[in-house]
Structure formats: C-alpha cells, structure tokens
Amino acid sequence: MNPQVTYKPSEEVDFVIVGSGAAGGVLAKELSTAGFKVVVLEQGRWVPPSEFGHDEIAQSQEHTLTNNSQQQPQTFRKTPQDKAEKQLSAIYGRCVGGGTVHFTANFWRFHEIDFIERSRRGPVAGTAFADWPLTYADLEPYYTKLEWEVGVSGLAGASPFDPYRSKPYPLPPLPVKSSGVIFERAAWKVGLHPFPSPMAILSQPYRGRAGCIHCGRCLGFGCEVGAKSSTLASVIPVAQQTGRCEIRTHSYAFRVETDRHDRAKGVAYFDGRGRQHFQKGRAVILSANGAETPRLLLLSSSRRYPQGLANSSGLVGKHLMINGYSGVLAAFEQPLNDYSSAAVSRVLHDFYEIDPKLGFYGGGGLDARFGRTPINFALGAVPPEVPRWGKAYKNWLAETFSHSMFVTCHATSLPVENNSFSLDPDLKDAWGLPALRMTYRDHPDDLKTVKYLQDRALELLAASPATHVWPQPVQEQTRAVHLLGTCRMGNDPKTSVVNADHRTHDVPNLFLCDGSSFVTSGRGQPTMTIEALAFRAADRIADAARRGEI
Amino acid sequence: MNPNSGHESNRREFLVTGLRGAGGVWASLHWPAVMVAAQHAAHMREAIPPAKLEVLTADQAAEIEAAANRIIPTDDTPGAREAGVIYFIDRALGTFATDSRGDYEKGLPVLQAKTRELFPDSKKFSQATPEQQDAVLKALEGQPIFELIFSHTVMGFLADPARGGNRGGVGWKLIGFDDNATFAPPFGYYDRDYPGWQPPKEK
C-alpha cells in the first residue's frame, strides 16, 4: 500500500471507475500507467493484510470482505411471477480488490469454443445463446499479459484440451495435495486427463511478492502474505505508484449523471458518512460487478431514460448466468489434511464440451478441492443420512473432516432473459436506495449438465480408494457468487448493452467492464476472463481516448 | 498504508517495512513465513477471552449450555462443555450476533415449554435427564430455537479460540484440523512419495 494522489470531486479527471475488483483494479492500473488521471470509487474499505487472518467468524458472520444484508439487503425469487422474499443471494467482494481478495484463485482461461459456441451448436430453446463479438484469438494476448502481470502458477501443455497459448505460465504449479494425487490417479485409470490446476497464487516469490506459505486459507479469506494474485496485491499498487490514480474507499456510487448530449458527466456517490458528492470525469467506466453495474444503470433512470441509463435494448440486468455447480464429498482411510495449501491442485477438462447427442447443452470442469473450512463443513457438508447432531454427528465430523475431499463440478449456465437483477419495488438499503432483486431459475439443461458431471465425478471416485462417497443433491440454485451476463456485449444495439470495446451503445463515453459483459458463462471460473477483458478494454479505451474518440 | 483507511500501522507492517527498507532480498521474499508464524503464535497466547458471562443470565446460559452439551456431547473426547461453547455464544451476542438476543429470549421459553409438555416433572430443560433432553431437541428440530443453538454450538466448538469457545483448540483437535500458520508438502498420506506429474503413455 502506497501513498496516493488525491483529487477534488470537482476536478474533471480522465476516467471515473466504479469498483476496484477484478476489472476495476486492472483498468485503474492500465489507464493510469498510460498517463490518464483516474479516480476509482470503491464502496468497501481498504482491508490491510494484517486483518485478513484465519478467523472463520470474521469471514462468514462479520462479512469483513463481502457484502452483507444489514447494509445492503436483497430479495430473491425464482420467476417474475413470484413475490421476491428478503434473502442475500448475490455475494460479492466489498473491499479494495473486490472478489479477487477472497476468491479461491482458480484461473482457467476460457477455450476457443466459449466465444463461438452458438454458431457451432445452434440455438438452445428458451435462451439468448449467442456468439461473443470477439474471439479467443482476440483475447489470447491479454490472457498471457494477465498471467505475467499478476503471477499465475501452472503447467503449460499439461491438458490436451487447453487452448492455444503464446507463452508458458510465469510460475510452476503449486505442490500437489493428497486430494490432487487421489484425483489424478483415479482419473488416469478411467481414461481422463488430469492436470495441475492453474492458480492465481504464487508458487514462488515473484516480482517482489512472497510465494505461497500453504496456510490453506484461500477460499473466502484474504491472503496475509500477498501470494494470492488479487488485484489488491498485484496491479493496484502499480496504479498508485503512477501518482495519477486515487482509489477512494467508502464511496458508494448511486447515479451516473449525463448531459443533454447523452454524455456521461461523472458519478454521484455517498461517502463513508453518508454525504453526497459528485466526481466529474471525461469518461465513466462501471466495473461494479454483474449485480451492481446493472443496478447502478437502473438507479440512473431519468425522464430522458425512463428504463435506466444505457438501456435502450431493455436488456440491462437480464440474462444473468451464475454457473452450474455440483459436488461429491469423498472420505478415505488415511488423512488428506486437505485444509492445508491452496484449495485446488488438480483439475480436468475432458467434459468441457458434453456430446450434443445426449440431448442437452452444456459442459464443465471437475476439480479436487478443499471445499469447506471447519465451521462451514460442520454446518453445511453433513450428508442427509448422517444424524444432524449428537454423538453420531460428532463421530462423523471426527472421522471425516481431515480424511475427505470434494470433487466439484463447475459448469455452464445458459442466458435466460427472465434470470436477472432488477430494483426491488419495496425494499431499500441503508442509504435509502432500492435494494437489489435477483430472479433466477436454472435452465433445465444446466441442471442436466451438473448431474451429468456429478455422475462422471462418481465414476472417477469409484476408481479411487474412497471408503464413502456422498453426492450433494443437485437442485435449483438460489445463491450466486459468479455474476455474469447482465449487460452483455454484442454488435447489435437491440440485443446487447455494450460493444466489443465495452462502450455502451447509448452513451459514447460510458463503458461497462466486469462479469456483466459476458455473452456466455464459460465453465465456471470467470475471474480470469473478467481480468483479461479488462486488460483488453483498457487498450481499446486508451487508444480511443488518444484519438479523441471518447 | 492507504491514507483513507484510518488504520494505524501495526507491528507487523512496521517490521515488514523495516525489513524491506533494509533492502535484504532474502527478507523481502522470505519474511512472510517467519512473520506469520510469529504473529500467529502471539495471537494464540494473548487472545483467549476470560470465561465469564456478559450478556446472558445464569439461567439462560444453563439452558443453552445444556442443549449445546447434547448437540456435541462429551464422551471419551471433549464436547461443547469442555470447549466453553457457552462463552462463545455469550460473546457472540455482545458482538456479531446482537440480533440473535431477541431470538434467544423468544426461543428459550419454547424450549422449556416443550420440556414440560413431554416431561411434566422437569420445569427447565437443564433439569431433564440427557435422554429426555434428546427427545425435546428431536421434537424441536427445524424450529428457530433449535437451529439457533445448533449453529451457535457448532461455531463455538470450531471457531478461533479468540472468539471465546473451542478452548484449547479441543474442537479442532477432534476433527483433525491443525491451525498452523504454514504447511509444507507432504500435506497428507496420499501425497507422500509423489513422483511428479507424469501422464501415462497413450496406447
């Protein structure tokens, strides 16, 4: 953390960026190093690494790194016909670095197919399945740049399903864990192709940052030593060192203002004491995540834009995708101690594209992982046939926690128009703003996909020395941590919100860059692609700015 | 430090800055394991709060603790009682779970009413026999008071001891969780003698 420049809100900076997470952190670094003046409005606080700690209560009950329902309640419903009930459904990072601070750090590139799947597969009924307006080849240089800028550990060429890459990983894979060895050996046996998981965690010291010390608190926790390649640990310090970028914390954006020429003038926000300010900017970039970016556009409605800013398509907030998920808990005779080191050490992509002849669309990846910290495990991982409390429960915990692992299945979600974020008509947040309302029901193909993948996970585990396996029930999801597709990109202003350069079709100096830009969902690890898109967007936006075309 | 955060530099950051300032390459790249281990050990020594009640009355605590002791009973290994779960819960109600105070106030009479309904001889849950207590809890599964005591008991058994429960790390010991600040391979039984990633020869 470094001293940084500060701007007055009345000073018109080149870019006002809302959000300092996966996309906002990258954009801040790229645009400030390119010579532009940047203010980043971050609603959360700057959590110093000394506070990251290993306290599960701080993480799960006090929400030190994520949004909480006390300040920002949400509502949820399955379909537009249902009444939405109060429930925190969309979980996201709410601190400098956003979700990259607490994420598991799986860092899979999307494959070629992810960008062109609609034209390869044809339409899927009940969905807005579409190709992206860019291809893997357009993004490849930015995936590579990202890997080398933030530090990613992996083994190039280890997966026969991997897409083309122009450079190897900057760091070798993290050490394998017992879960990885079990997974790998069983996978080879059944003819699959396991490989060392690509992780945004430093396996060795890199660019002045420390390597992983294998404390095992990645999932849900910040990394005390900065080995996890969050934007907080990697690119944000570089942005600050330029002397042109201010990360302004406790700044909760609630409105993008425009002039009568349909140009953005800046962003109105509340500071930590609830006072309103207006930060002027020549251009505005929303990287507030796939929930808050569309919410902010909807909150910015006016007489001129009755259905929200940049929403002539009517698609702002729609086509939410959250990635399908299923898992199997497996127990073994000997201890795995899977709570140590990074969550995942082996993965496989053999089912990235499930055979269309099976009659449904989908695909995904399987990994071997530590899925739950002690309290989370004891409250949430207990199979239905195990007593919920008492001596048998205690015995099960004692026998299972250190002797088990999860095989998890990460999968596609289809873009369904009804699945969305919108403004709740009744509930307000602590600032008096309409609360976020999530509407979501998995497409039937998404549920078939995760069931199919879970069956493959069970086959794999049958070839392992597992003594017990417990498939977790496959059911409709009501909670999301991947917030994708809600301001989708495309060439046609009628069917998309932003173009391939993340510029909104309606407001020429307003850009949206985060999970909301996705057209399809990928296979469950979106953060890397959000960051790669941000590197590319920064190039395109900086070029346009230099040409006077913003 | 970020100028906006308002937090004062703590000891570790001071030390880290000092090490980096000294320009030692070894220090800048290897400090984390050393520092984290030291910090962690200090935290474990200093942070255990005293075992006394601040929020709950003795009567309330006796009822909750009796239920916690059935949820994670004591047998040949420590249970909720030895872990001091009740002190975790009391502390929770004064910190992150203040919203739950009312839920206990509303819920404990439900627990007692169910006890009297099933076992008229017992006025309070804590006066019933362990077998009777199990029957009462079984009858209340799914009810707010049961779910509240259950989740708080589990948290108090497995949370960082600095939160007031999990005394001496008895919960962690039971489930085989080591709260080490750092680990090194091999991490478990199955990754010993791993020869390295080597795909089988394709036939």
A3 band by pLDDT with thresholds 50, 70 and 90: confident
Chain A nearest CA to B39, separation (Å): 9
Assess whether pLDDT exceeds 80 at residue A123. yes
User: Is the same domain home to B35 and B66?
Assistant: no
Question: Are residues A365 and A347 in contact, defined by beta-carbon separation less than 8 angstroms?
Answer: yes
Residues of A in contact with B70 (CB under 8 A): 389-390
User: Is the same domain home to B70 and B142?
Assistant: yes
Q: pLDDT, tens digit, for every residue of A260-300? A: 999 999 999 999 999 999 999 999 999 999 999 999 999 99
Q: Is residue B185 part of a domain?
A: no
User: Is the same domain home to B42 and B113?
Assistant: no
Assess whether pLDDT exceeds 80 at residue B32. no
Q: Is residue B4 part of a domain?
A: no
What do you get for the CA distance between the two ends of chain A, in Å? 31
- Average per-residue pLDDT in chain B? 85
User: Is the same domain home to B120 and B76?
Assistant: yes
Burial of A484 (0-12, 13-18, 19+ CB in 10 A): buried
Distance CA A411, CA A448 (A): 10
Domain extent at residue B169: 58-175
Chain B nearest CA to A61, separation (Å): 7
Global pTM value = 0.94
Distance CA A19, CA A534 (A): 12
Q: Is residue B91 part of a domain?
A: yes
Indicate the number of domains in chain B.
Answer: 2
Written as six digits, the tokens of A85 are: 């009930």
Distance CA A58, CA A341 (A): 20
CA angle A72, A78, A83 (to 5 degrees): 70
pLDDT at A371 (0 to 100): 87
Q: Do B188 and A158 touch (CB under 8 A)?
A: no
* Minimum-distance CB partner of A389 among B71, B179, B187: B71
User: Is the same domain home to B39 and B106?
Assistant: no
Question: Are residues A533 and A290 in contact, defined by beta-carbon separation less than 8 angstroms?
Answer: no
Q: Is residue B180 part of a domain?
A: no
Q: Tell me the mean pLDDT in the region A189-195.
A: 98
Q: Is residue B181 part of a domain?
A: no
Q: Please give the order of strands across the beta sheet that includes A364-369.
A: A194-196, A344-348, A364-369, A404-411, A324-331, A468-471
Q: Is residue B80 part of a domain?
A: yes
Assess whether pLDDT exceeds 80 at residue B9. no
Q: Do A3 and B200 touch (CB under 8 A)?
A: no
**Model ipTM?**
0.94
Question: Are residues A208 and A227 in contact, defined by beta-carbon separation less than 8 angstroms?
Answer: no
pLDDT at B49 (0 to 100): 79
Q: pLDDT, tens digit, for every residue of B80-137? A: 999 999 999 999 999 999 999 999 999 999 999 999 999 999 999 999 999 999 999 9
Assess whether pLDDT exceeds 80 at residue A70. yes
- The residues in B 39-58 lying below 8 A from A, measured between CB atoms, are 39
Distances (CA, A) of A419 to A294, A317, A480: 13, 9, 12
Chain B nearest CA to A481, separation (Å): 23
Sheet strands (E) in A208-248 = 245-248
Q: Is residue B6 part of a domain?
A: no
Q: What is the three-class DSSP state of A83?
A: coil
User: Is the same domain home to B68 and B151?
Assistant: yes
Distances (CA, A) of A457 to A187, A263, A408, B125: 9, 51, 8, 45
User: Is the same domain home to B141 and B72?
Assistant: yes
B29 band by pLDDT with thresholds 50, 70 and 90: low
User: Is the same domain home to B62 and B111?
Assistant: yes
Residue A279: CA count within 13 A, CB half-sphere:
31
Q: Is residue B114 part of a domain?
A: yes
Assess whether pLDDT exceeds 70 at residue A166. yes
CA angle A59, A63, A69 (to 5 degrees): 145
DSSP assignment string, A248-267? E-S-EEEEEEE-TTS-EEEE
Residue % of chain A over a pLDDT of 90: 98
Please, what are the domains in chain A? Answer: 13-71+89-122+149-546 (3.50.50.60)
- Average per-residue pLDDT in chain A? 97
Minimum CA–CA partner of A342 in chain B: B183
